[in-house]
Amino acid sequence: MPLTPLDIYNKEFRRALRGYHEDEVNEFLDEVVRDYEAVLRENDEMKQQLAGINERVEQYKKLEESVKNALIVAQATADEVRQAARKEAELIVREAEAKAQALIEAAERRVREQEEQLEALRREWDIFRARMRSMLQTQLALLSDDPAPASRTPQVVDLTDQP
């Protein structure tokens, strides 16, 4: 069992011839008791501080573990978000390419239709011109001074079968 200040204070020494001065010994023991009590108080305070520090260290360790777990979760989440964004971007690109292809095909179809309509209009124009030329030639022949050509029957040219 450790020595207490009370043990020091109550310590009695036997008297001997040529012994130490009793008052000086008692004063010294009183001083030792005070210093010993101070050391014990300081020791208790340090033990309490150490316990508090150990408790905080444990809290910091738990906090560190929580932060590590949070970082792992955050990294995994970031990876998932990045992968989802990449997939979504690929999907958007594919949809845009499909829409672009559909627009190109629609435009090409319209161009072909317009070209076909233009070709049909050219054919109609050629037919119209041929009919008009034939009609004008007939009219000119009728108006001419030469009675012989007037006696002829005008020929009507059918150009509907022409290319």
Q: What is the pLDDT of residues 129-148, one digit of tens each?
A: 999 999 999 999 888 866 55
pLDDT the model gives residue 155: 61
Q: How far apart are CA 2 and CA 43, in angstroms?
A: 14
Residue 95 placed within a domain: yes
Looking at residue 29, its amino acid is: L
Residue 12 has pLDDT above 90, yes or no: no
Residue 145 placed within a domain: no
Q: pTM for the complete prediction?
A: 0.43
Residue 128 placed within a domain: no
Helix (H) or strand (E) holding 29: helix 22-143
Q: Number of folded domains in the chain?
A: 1
Structure tokens at 108: 């090409």
Range of the domain at 75: 5-113
Residue 96 placed within a domain: yes
Nearest-Å Rg of the Cα atoms of the chain is 60
Residue 139 placed within a domain: no
Q: How far apart are CA 131 and CA 133, in angstroms?
A: 5
Residue 57 placed within a domain: yes
The whole-number average pLDDT for the span 57-69 is 95
Residue 158 placed within a domain: no
The whole-number average pLDDT for the span 65-75 is 96
Residue 42 placed within a domain: yes
Structure tokens at 122: 């050219």
Provide the 3-class DSSP secondary structure of residue 162: coil
